[in-house]
Amino acid sequence: MSTTPGRSDAGLLYRRYLSAVMLHGHASAKACDLGATDLYALNILELTGPMTPGELGTRTGLTTGPTTRLIDRLEQAGYVRRVPAPDDRRKVIVEPIGKPAELDQVMAPARQKVGAILAGYSAEQLDVLFDYFDRAAHAYQEAAELLRSDSGAVCP
């Protein structure tokens, strides 16, 4: 008899998975002498490319002041730079120029373990998993946008 939660415990299993991913992200950031939000911001910039401080603030959930301090920290560490926007000199664009040298080393054990897990799946199963990851990412992004707007707020 397996002690691993099954489909009947899907919500619990999924929450445990998300919690583990978040905890790993926090631990990885700390191991690289970064805050979790700093590492998250670097990931956003790496995935989507340069953006305005306002866009970065929206994506990280930070207001103007904390976003400015975030960018200052990342700039001082040599991970981003502020450049004038090509279409409007009054605007600034934040662009990634590096990442912590030790980040790949810190992430390697988890990546290897997940890689070994994925290696046990067939090509068809991997197609389903990757389709899920892509669709779920869009669903979470849309849900976050809804929560950021007044129409999606549910907490008092």
- Domain ranges across the chain: 9-100
Which parts of the chain sit beneath pLDDT 70?
1-6, 150-156
Cα radius of gyration rounded to whole Å, the chain: 19
CA distance 37 to 14: 22
Nearest to 148 by CA among 66, 55, 65, 69: 55
What architecture is domain 9-100? Orthogonal Bundle (1.10)
CA distance 50 to 97: 10
Q: Are 94 and 45 in contact (CB under 8 A)?
A: yes
pLDDT per position as a tens digit, 119-142 = 999 999 999 999 999 999 999 989
Q: What is the phi/psi pair of residue 101, to 5°?
A: -60, -35
pLDDT at 145 (0 to 100): 83
Taking each helix axis from N to C end, the angle separating 64-76 and 36-48, rounded to the nearest 10 degrees, works out to 80
